Structure 1
Amino acid sequence: MANLVLQNDKSMPKIDGSIKDKVCEFFDKLRADDTAPGLHIEPLRGAVDARIRTGRVDLNYRAVMFRVDDRFGEPTYIYLGTWKHDVANRIAENATLRVNPINGVLEGIVSLLDGRPNKPDVPRQFGRSGAQPVIGYLANAGYTLYELTERLGLGVGLAAEVLDAPDQDALFAVAQSIDLAWQQNAILELAVGRSIDDIRELLGFAEPQAALDDNEQILTALAHPASRMQFTFVDDNDELRRVIEGGDFSAWRTFLHPSQRRFVEQDHRGTFRLSGGAGTGKTIVALHRARHLARRDPDARIVLTTFNKTLAQGLRDSLLALDPAITLAEKPGERGIYVTGIDRLAAACLRTATDPGHAFRTVFGDDTPPRRGQTVGPEVGWAEAISSAEHNLDLRLAQPAFLTTEYVNVVLGNLVSTQAEYLKVPRAGRGVRLGRSQRIAVWQLITQFRRLGRMADRLNFPEVLALAAVDLRQRAESTGEYIADHVIVDEAQDLHATHWTLLRALAAEGPNDLFIAEDSHQRIYGQPVVLSRLGINIRGGRSGKLTHNYRTTAQNLHFAVNILEGTNYHDLEDGEESTVGYTSARWGPDPSLVRCESPLDELQAIADQLTTWITQDGISPGDIAVLARGARDRDVTVRSLRERGVPAEVLDDSIPEAGQVPVLTMHRSKGLEFRCVVLAGIDKEHVPSRPSVHNVPAEEREEAERRERSLLYVAASRARDQLVVTWSGQVSELLAESSGPRSRSTER
C-alpha cells in the first residue's frame, strides 16, 4: 500500500470542480495499489528530479507527484497538484524535491506552475539611486548574509533581497512573495527582530543526518515541524476527500505552524496556558489538542468549553469539520469530547449532583434548602434588592454592576456565606476599597438579594457555577473520582472567579489536566482574575504564546494593535501582556477611515460601500459584516440598509440567512471573522460607550475604559481582507490614537 503526502503550496491552483471526484478516485486506487495499470504512474524522461512521476486522472488531466521509496521499497507519493496534460508535463520537468542542508526542512520547488515561472533566486533592487549603497533594515540591525544563508538556510539571492529591504514594510512584502512556508515564516520573524537562534528553535531547525541516503533524508524530513507546514501525510480516504473537495490545501485542519503543533502535542506536568493575539490560531490549537488527546486515549473524558453557547457551537462545528469521526460525549463524565458553553456545563453537572443539600449549605449558609428554579443572568435581582433593602451604602457603589462583580468574584469565588466571613475575606483585584461599615452595608444588600432569589425560586448563572463546583469537589473528596480527565478552555480571558472554581473541580490536578487558551487584550467582560489566587497554578514555565496572525492582513493587524497602545494589560497570572512580535504574512489594502458630515450621511456611506463590495467586487453578502457598538445602533443600521436596497439582517443568536449582510454588535462579533468589515459609528459619543465607562465607581473606571479599548480591538480584528471605519461628528478618542500612517481618511 502506498503512502500519500499532500503539499500545501499557496500558488497551487484549486482543482477544477469537474474532476474532483476523479482525483479522489485516482488516489483511492493509488493508495490501494500504485502498480495498477489504469493509473499510468510514469517517470518523465529528461526531468530535473528522477523522483518525479505523473499519473492519469483522466484523458485530459494528470497528477504530478514525487515518488520516494524507503529502504524496504515501500513508496511514498508527494502530491503537487493536478493539471491538464501538457501543463503537468512542463511542471514535472523542472520540479525538484530536496532537504535543506542547513535546517533539515523538506522543500518542494516547482519552477513552472500553471504556466507562471517562480520568482528566481536573485536580489531585487529597492529603489536605489546613484552609486551610494543603501543599508537595509535588517543589515542595519546587525544581521548578516552569512547568518541568513549558513544558519537559517535561505538561498543567497533571497538572503540578499531580505537584507536589501529598506524597512519593515518591504520585508513583509518579500515574505508575501515567498511560496515556501518555512522561508516566509523565517522572514516574518526577522522583520519583528527575532534572533537567529530563536527562529531556529521556533521552527525546529536541525541539520539533516549525513548517514542517511537522499530518500531516507526526505522521509525523515517529512516529520520535521517546519516541513509539516507544507507537507502532511493523509492516512485515510475521508480526510483526503475533504481536503480535495474543500479545494483549500492550506486548510487549518491539515497544516499547522510548528509552534501550533508543539502546543497541540506537548505533554505538560499540570495546567498550561496558551496566549496570543486575535487570529493567531489559539482556537485551532485547542481543537487539535482535543483531537490529539482523544486519539491518544479513546477512553479519555475530555471537556472542551468556552465563554458562551454561541462560541461553543462554533467549537463543536469546527471539531466535526476537523474530524467527522470524532467521538462526542452527550454529557459530562462520558468518554469522548463534551463540547458546551461553561454555564451549560455547570448546569449539566448540577443536575447530577450527589448531595445538592451540602452544596446549597456551603454556598448560601447552613439554613438554606436546595431549590431548582429558573436560571437568570448575574445582574437580575440587584435593582430590586437595592430599592427594597435598608442600607447606608455609598450611592456610587449601590449599583448592579458593582454589586454583581463583588458578589461573583469575592463572595461566590471564596464561598462566603456569612457576614463574619465577608468582613475578613481578602478582596484582591477589586479597585474599590471597602471599610468595615461599607462591607456591612454591602452584605445587607447581598442578604436581601439572596432572600429575593429564594422567594422567586431562581438562581443566577454564577450561583449555579459555585454550587456545581462544590458538589464536584465533594464527590472527588469522598470517592476520589473526577468527571473529566482533560479540560480545554477557549476564550478564557472573559471567565470570572466561579467559572474557574468549576473548571478546577472537573479534573484532578496532574499531567495535562487543564489547557487554557486566552488573550488578555480581548477581555471584554468582567474583571481580570489571577489564577493562582483561585487554586490554579501555571507558574514554572507552563505557558506559551502565539504571535503569527493567520486571519488578518498586515495592514488591518497594524491598525487593530495600535488601538491597544498606551494601555497596560495583564494576563491570568498578573504578568504584563504585550503585542511585541505580532506578525501577519497576509497583505492587503490600508483600512479606510471615512468621516461623514451627519449620521444620515454615514448610513449612506455604509450602504454605498456594501453595494460596491457586492456588485462591483463580487463579494458574497455573507462574507461582509457591519459592526455597531450597541443593539440600538445595530437595528437602526439594518433598517437603513434595507431602505437603500442592501440585503441586511440582524445577527444575534440566529444563523444568518444566505444572501444577507449580517449586522451585529461588537460584542456579538467575538469569535467570528469576515472577509470585509465596516465598523460603524466610531465617534466620540458611541466609542467608548458612556454608560459602560461612567456607570461604574471611579476606582474601576480605568478597567472599564480598558474593556472598551479591547472591544474595539476585537471588532477591528474581525476583518480578513478589507476594513472600513465610519463616523460622523468627532472621531472616537480610541480611533484618533490608533489611526497611524497606514490608514487613510475620506471626507463625505
Structure 2
Amino acid sequence: MANLVIASNTKAMKKLDKSVKEKEWAFIEKLAKDHTAPGLHIEPIQKAVDPRVRTGRVDLHFRAILFKIDAKLGDDPTFIYMGTWPHDEANKLAERSKLRVNPINGVLEGIIGELDGEEDRKKRTVVPDPRGELNRAVTAQRPSYLGATFSLSDLTDRLGLDVDLAERALAAPDEDTVLDIAANAVGWQGSALLDLATGLHIETIREKHGFTDSPVDDTLDEDEQILKALEQPASKMQFTFVEDNEELRRVIEGGDFAAWRTFLHPEQRKYVEQNFNGAFRLSGGAGTGKTVVAIHRARRMAKADPTTRIVLTTYNKTLAADLKAALKTLDPDLPVAERLGEPGVYVDGIDALGYAVLNQTGDIGAAAEAVLGYRTELSHQRTNSDKVWRDVAQSVNSGLDAKLATPGFLENEYVAVILANKVTTLEQYAKVARPGRGVRLTRPQRIAVWKLVEAYRRQSRMDGSLSFPEILALAAEQLHLRVEAGKGFLVDHVLVDEAQDLHATHWTLLRHLVAEGSNDLFIAEDSHQRIYGQPVVLGRLGIKIVGRSRRLTLNYRTTAQNLHFAVSILSGAEYKDLEQGDESTSEYRSARLGPNPTLIECTDPADELDKVAELIKSWIEKDEIDPATIAVLTRGQNDRSQFVRALGERGVEARALDSSPATNGHVQVLTMHRSKGMEFSRVVLAGIDDAHVPSAATMRSVPEEEQPEALLRERSLLYVAASRARDALVVTWSGRKSALLGNSND
C-alpha cells in the first residue's frame, strides 16, 4: 500500500465538475490500495524535467499528475498527488513539473508546468515582468512599496522566495499590488509576501513559518530530503499525508472552501500541536482562524489519547452547535462524549455546561450555602433577571441613586463582585474589592446595593428559581467541593472559544473544572469582539497565563478592503485583553482582495428598505449569488422583523435567523449580536444611523461612569458585524450617519 500525500493550493489546476471529482476520488482510492494496479496506468514522462513525475489515468479524458518518491529497504513508495487535468494538458504540464526542496528554508515545493512560465505569470499580475533591460528600466522609474525596506537578497537569500516572484513583489508600486501577487503565489510564498507587506522583519517571518538555519541535510539523498521536507511546518501549507480514505474523500469533495480542515498555516499548526505548561491564550482579529485552531487542537488531543476527557465550549448554545458540526466535519470518527466527564470531546455552551455539572454532582445544598448563604435545590432557571432587578429596585426603599438602581448595573455587580467572591453577608460585601467595575461605591451605597441583593435572593427563594450566573457559581463551588472530597477533577483539558464574552462566574467554573497543569485551559479570544458584559482579568480569577499568550494576524475570511473598514471602526478606542494588556490591531492583514465597501445614504427608512431590496435583487439576478449566502444585519430584533417583511413585500424571499439554522434559498436577516461566529458572501449592515449605532436606549440604561465601557461594546458590535462579509460589504442608513463610521466615504 502506497503512502499518499495530497497537495493543496495548486493554482494551475482548473475546477473540476462533479462527475470528474467522483472519478478522481476513485483513482486516488485505488492508488492508495495498490499502486501497481494496471488500470491506474501510472506512467513516467519522457523528457521530463523531474524524473519523479508520473501521470495516472483518471478516465479517457483526464489524467492525474503525481510525483513518486521511492522508499528504501523495500518500504512502500510515497505518491504526491498534485491534481487532475485534461489528458493532453496533463502530459504537457507534467513534462515541466518538478518537486524541489527550497535550499534556503527547507520547504518542499511542487511546481506544476506553466505555473512558472512567463505567459502564465503575465496573466496573473498587473505588474510588468521585471526581467529584461526594458522592463528593468521601467521598474526603476516607479516607486516600490517594499523596496524602501527590503532588498532582492532579503527576499531570495534570507526567505527563499523565487527570484521572479521577489522581483515582481519589489516592482509593485502599492500594497494592493503586493497583495494581488501574494494571492496568486503558491503555499508559503504567498503567506510570506503578506507578512512582508505589513512590514514584519525577515527573522519574524522565518520564525512564524518554522524555517531553520540548516534547512537541508546533505547526508541524505534527494528522495530522503524530500520526505524530510514534508515534515516542515510550511510544507504542510501545501502538502498533507492522508491517513484514511474518509479523510481523503472529504479533502477532494470539500474543495477550496473547506481547505482549512487539512491545510493549516504554520503558525496555526504550531498552536494546534504545541503543549503548554499551563493555561494558554490565543488572541486574534475576526477571521484569523482562532476557532479553527481550537477545533484542530481538540481533535489532536483526542486522537493522541482516546481516554482523555476534553471539553470544547463557547459563549452560547448556537455557537456550540457550530463547533460540534465543524468538529464532526473535520473528523466524523472522532469520539464525541455525550456526558460531561466521559472520554472524548464534550461540546456545549458554557451555561449548559454549568447546568450539566449540577445535574451530575448530586445534592447542591452545601454549595448553595457557600455561594448564596442558604440551602436550596436545583429547580427552574430564571431567564429574565432584568425584570426581577427592576421590580426590587422599585419596591425596596434602598436609598440607592436612581442612576445605579438599574438592572444592568445591579446584575453586573451581582455577577462580577458578589457571586465571583461568594459574598453572602453585608460585612463581606463592605470589604470586598471591586476591581474593574468603573463606578466607585461609598459604604452607604454598598449598604443600599446589599438591600437590593437581599431582596433579589429573597425573591429567588420564594419562586424557587436560579439565574444562569447563580447556576454557574453553584457549579463551580460544587466542583471545588468535589475535589476537596478527594473525587478529583471532572475533565482533563478545556478549550474555550469566543472567550472575551465570558463573565466572572464562567471563568470560576472553568477554573474548577480542570486541574492546573499541562494543557489545562486553551483560551481563544479577541477583546475587540467583546459585545457582552464587563471586562475581566484572568489573573484575578485564578487563571494564570504568565507569558503564554500569542496573537494571530492573518485574516482568512474577509477581503483586505473589508478588513480595513472593520478595523477603522475601532480606531481611537483603547481596548484591554484578558490580561489587562493593550489590545492592538497592528499587523492585521488579509489574504484576499475585493471591492471597497459601499456606503449608501438614504432619504428615509422607506427609501433604505427600497435600496436594500434593489441591491439584493441585483446580486441574486445579475451576479447569480445564492440568496442563503447574503445577510442583512440589524441592530435590534424589531428592525430585523421589519426588514424580513419589507424584503418579502419587495419580492425578495427572506427569513429571520435566530436560534434556528439558516434557510436555503432565502436571504438571512439577523441581528448583529446573532451574527457572531458566522460568515456570509455578501453583507448589508442596515440602519447604521446615530440612533441605532450606538444604541441610544442601551447608552441611556448604564450609569455615566460605565458609558465609556458601553460605547466600547457598541464599537465592538459594529466591528463584529462588518467582519462577517467574505466578499461584498454594504452599509446603509437614513438620517444622520453613525459617528462610529468615522469619516468613511464611498
1:425 aligns with 2:429: no
Q: Deviations over 1:404-430 (max 9, x none)?
A: 000000000111111110000000000
Cα 1:587–1:10 shift into 2, 3 Å: farther
Identify the residue that residue 448 of structure 1 maps to in structure 2.
455
Query: 1:131 deviation in Å?
Result: 9.5
* Greater Cα shift, 726-735 or 424-433: 726-735
Alignment partners' CA distance in 2, 1:314 and 1:114: 40
Conserved in 1, the CA contact under 8 Å of 2:366 and 2:375? no
Deviation at 1:16, TM superposition (A): 2.4
Whole-angstrom distance in 1 between the partners of 2:259 and 2:73: 32
Rounded Cα–Cα distance in structure 2 between residues aligned with 1:304 and 1:27: 34
Cα distance between partner residues in 1 of 2:118 and 2:671: 44
1:272 aligns with 2:280: yes
Q: 1:42, 1:55 within 8 Å by CA — same for their partners in 2?
A: yes
Distance in 2 between the 1:249 and 1:378 partners? Answer: 42
Name whichever of 105-114 and 160-169 sits farther off: 105-114
CA contact (8 A) 2:10 2:82 kept: no
Q: Indicate whether 1:229 and 2:229 are aligned.
A: no
Preserved contact between residue 301 and residue 485 of structure 1 (Cα < 8 Å)? yes
Cα distance in 2, alignment partners of residues 712 and 99 from structure 1: 45
Map of 2:521 onto structure 1: 514
Match of residue 38 from structure 2? 37
Q: Verify: 1:162 aligned to 2:169, yes or no.
A: yes
Structure 1 Cα separation of the partners of residues 331 and 387 of structure 2: 40
- Other structure's SS at 1:112 match: helix
Of the structure 1 ranges 318-327 and 52-61, higher mean CA displacement relative to structure 2 is found in 52-61
Cα distance in 1 between the residues matched to 2:441 and 2:345: 44
Deviation at 1:656, TM superposition (A): 2.5
TM-aligned CA deviation for residue 624 of structure 1: 0.4
Greater mean deviation of Cα atoms: 295-304 or 59-68: 59-68
* Distance in 1 of aligned mates of 2:266 and 2:340: 32
- Give the secondary structure class of the aligned counterpart of 1:54: strand
Runs of 5+ unmatched residues, structure 2: none
1:111 CA displacement:
2.5
Structure 2: how far apart are the matches of 1:91 and 1:338? 47
SS in 2 for 1:299: coil
For residue 533 of structure 2, what is the aligned residue in structure 1?
Answer: 526
CA contact (8 A) 2:23 2:58 kept: yes
Amino acid paired to 2:217:
Q
Letter in 1 for 2:573: T
Aligned equivalents of 1:250, 1:417: Cα separation in 2:
51
Per-residue deviation, residues 32-72 of structure 1 (Å, max 9, x unmatched): 11111111111011111111111112222211111111223
Q: 2: distance between equivalents of 1:250 and 1:355?
A: 46
Question: Which stretch shifts more, 442-451 or 244-253?
Answer: 244-253
Q: Are 1:108 and 2:110 counterparts?
A: yes
Q: Does 1:736 align with 2:742?
A: yes
**1:646 alignment counterpart:** 652
Query: 1:176 is matched with which residue: 171, 183, 190?
Result: 183
Q: Counterpart of 2:647 in structure 1: which amino acid?
A: L
Could you say which residue in structure 2 is the equivalent of 1:297?
305
**Alignment match, 1:596:** 602
Separation of aligned partners in 2, 1:536 and 1:513: 10
Contact persistence 1:8–1:250 (CA under 8 A): no
**Pairs within 5 Å for 1:693-712:** 693-712=699-718
Relative to the length of structure 1, the TM-score reads 0.96
Checking the alignment, whether the CA contact within 8 Å between 1:307 and 1:490 is kept in structure 2 is yes
Q: Which of 329, 347, 357 is the matching residue for 1:349? A: 357
Q: Is the 8 A contact 1:274 1:517 kept in 2?
A: yes
Deviation string, structure 1 residues 76-111 (Cα, Å, up to 9, x no partner)? 111111122112111211111111110111111113
Asked if residue 372 in structure 1 is aligned to residue 379 in structure 2, the reply is yes
Taking the aligned partners of 2:14 and 2:6, their CA distance within structure 1 comes to 14
Distance verdict in 2 for CA 1:380–1:473, change over 3 Å? farther
Amino acid at match of 1:9: N
Q: 1:249–1:736: structure 2 CA closer, same or farther, 3 Å change rule?
A: closer
Task: Indicate conservation of the 8 Å contact 2:139/2:171, yes or no.
Answer: no
Q: Are the structure 2 counterparts of residues 523 and 704 from structure 1 closer, same or farther at C-alpha, using a change threshold of 3 Å?
A: same
Moved more, 596-605 or 547-556: 596-605
Q: Give 2:121's match in structure 1, choosing from 94, 119, 122.
A: 119
What letter is aligned with 2:322? G
For residue 118 of structure 1, report the CA deviation from its aligned partner: 3.4
RMSD over aligned CA atoms reads 1.9
Q: Is the 8 A contact 2:569 2:742 kept in 1?
A: no
Could you tell me which amino acid in structure 1 is paired with residue 28 of structure 2? F
The match for 1:473 is: 480
Determine the structure 1 residue equivalent to 2:79. Answer: 77
Q: Which residue of 2 aligns with 1:187?
A: 193
Residue-by-residue CA offset, 1:656-700 (whole Å, 9 max, x unaligned): 321110100000000000000000011112111011112111110
1:323 corresponds to 2:331: yes
Corresponding residue SS for 2:742: helix
2:160 is matched with which residue?
153
Matched residue count = 736
Deviations 1:166-188 (A, max 9, x none): 2322322221232x121111111
The normalised TM-score by structure 2 is 0.96
Note the alpha carbon deviations across 1:540-560, whole angstroms, 9 max, x for none. Answer: x21111000000001000100
Alpha-carbon deviation of 1:250? 5.8
Q: Does 1:724 align with 2:730?
A: yes
- Larger deviation: 664-673 or 681-690? 681-690
Aligned to 2:631: 625
Q: In structure 2, do the counterparts of structure 1 residues 377 and 118 end up closer, same or farther at CA, with 3 Å as the change threshold?
A: farther
Query: What is the distance in 1 between the residues matched to 2:209 and 2:613?
Result: 45
Distance 1:250 1:666 in 2: 25
Worse overlay, 567-576 or 49-58: 49-58
Q: Per-residue deviation at 1:116?
A: 11
1:137 deviation in Å?
2.3
Residue 66 of structure 1 is matched in structure 2 by 67
Q: Distance in 2 between matches of 1:420 and 1:658?
A: 57
Preserved contact between residue 319 and residue 677 of structure 2 (Cα < 8 Å): yes
CA distance in 1, matches of 2:137, 2:37: 61
Which amino acid in 2 is paired with 1:404?
E
Which amino acid in structure 1 is aligned with residue 141 of structure 2?
Answer: P
- Could you tell me how far apart the structure 1 residues matched to 2:55 and 2:385 are? 64
**Deviations 1:332-390, CA, capped at 9 Å, x for gaps:** 1111100000000000101122441111100111x433342334244341111112212
Aligned to 1:255: 263
CA distance in 1, matches of 2:139, 2:568: 38
Structure 1: which amino acid aligns with 2:18?
G
Whichever residue aligns with residue 28 of structure 1, its letter is E
- The question of whether the paired residues in 2 share the 8 Å contact of 1:111 and 1:117 is answered with no
Identical residues among aligned pairs (%)? 57
Note if contact 1:162-1:174 (Cα within 8 Å) is conserved in structure 2. yes
Please give the per-residue CA displacement for 1:707-726, whole angstroms capped at 9, x wherever unaligned: 00000000000000000111
Q: AA paired with 2:304? A: R
